[in-house]
A and B are shown apart, each in its own frame.
Chain A
Amino acid sequence: MFEKMIDDSMSKSPWIFHINAGSCNGCDIELVSVLTPRYDAERLGFRLTGTPRQADIVVVSGPITVQTRDRLVRTLAQVPDPKCVVSLGSCPCSGNVFKGSYAIDGPLEKWTHVDVSVGGCTPKPEAIIAALAKATEILKEKRKEMRK
């Protein structure tokens, strides 16, 4: 009984953890602007959290640099299941202009399963909100499957 209640309440409030894997700060600023009064994702239950152990959705921005790679993998391992990985912007998907650099060890798909990707350099906040909404749906399904 309580399990269903907890699941319902958790699906209404997915907490976001943001990993900067060598981003230029453009996508990071846009992600923060999603939480400002203008776009206000907090009314939908999204909330930035400071620790990966409390996160439901992990948002990764930036091409995976060699310096951040190990930290990224370690941080992703700390996120409890079910988790949803969102890649923000063009960089984690392909490497963008840094493609082929010796300092890049991407794409993100190489290190973890990416559930939702957002294109754009940088994406508009509305696109980020749409991606987070999609991630919430995927998360709900994953949770349902986990309870089986």
Chain B
Amino acid sequence: MLPYLKQAVKNLFSKPSTEAFPAGDPPKAAEGYRGRISYDPNKCLNCGMCLRVCAPQCMERTIEKLENGDQKITFSFDMTSCTFCAMCADFCTTKAIKLTDDYMIVGTKPEDFIVSASFVKKAPPPKPQFTPEQIAAMKAKAEAAKKAKEAAAAAAAAAAKEG
């Protein structure tokens, strides 16, 4: 009887265990909570591992060709489709995808749930164009360098034999 009474008296003076949430700020999520995805396009390599491991296929990649040959790559993550398993974050080699502790995924429009970012992938530099004469000159130069190297090696071998 006494422990119950003790608890009852204690409860009289303690704070209520009900969260005051709609009145105040939402409480912080537990450590390691997997909430809304954050995506850093500057770290992304566009390897596409996240697309492969995503079970509900919540992410979409669009590759848009720009005029100068570059590619604009956009990743968008649909938070109403995600299971928050964090497989994408585990497989991301550069840690571009992270799961934050933001759990307030509430909205009235589909746009409220899309996490999207894009980056520009530079095209490789154009191959240098040479005329046939230039190519012939370069070949001759390379041949001469090879011959000089062989002669030097032969001289060194002869010197070693004598010595």
Q: Residues of A at under 8 Å CB distance from B?
A: 37-40, 43-44, 90, 93-97, 99, 115-121, 123-124, 126-127, 129-131, 133-134, 138
User: Could you tell me the dominant secondary structure of chain B's interface residues?
Assistant: loop
Hey, which chain B residues are within 8 Å of A93, CB to CB? 80-81, 113
Q: Bound complex: CA of A2 vs CA of B55, how far in Å?
A: 54
B80's nearest neighbour on chain A, judged by CB, is A93
Hey, which chain B residues are within 8 Å of A134, CB to CB? 106, 108
B82's nearest neighbour on chain A, judged by CB, is A90
Cβ of B2 < 8 Å from any Cβ of A? no
Best-surrounded residue of B35, B55, B57, B81 (most CB of chain A within 10 A): B81
A127→B113 contact, CB < 8 A: no
Hey, which chain B residues are within 8 Å of A138, CB to CB? 108
A133's nearest neighbour on chain B, judged by CB, is B22
Q: Residues of B at under 8 Å CB distance from A?
A: 17-19, 21-22, 26-27, 29, 35-36, 55-58, 78-84, 103-108, 113
Partner of A94, one of B78, B103, B104, B108: B78
A118→B56 contact, CB < 8 A: no
A90→B83 contact, CB < 8 A: yes
Chain B min CB distance to A50 (Å): 25
Best-surrounded residue of B22, B80, B105, B108 (most CB of chain A within 10 A): B80
- Starting from the known contacts A39-B18, A126-B104, 13 additional A-B residue pairs (CB-CB under 8 Å) come to A38-B18, A90-B79, A94-B78, A95-B56, A97-B83, A99-B57, A99-B81, A118-B106, A119-B36, A119-B79, A124-B29, A127-B106, A131-B106
B80→A119 contact, CB < 8 A: yes
A115's nearest neighbour on chain B, judged by CB, is B108
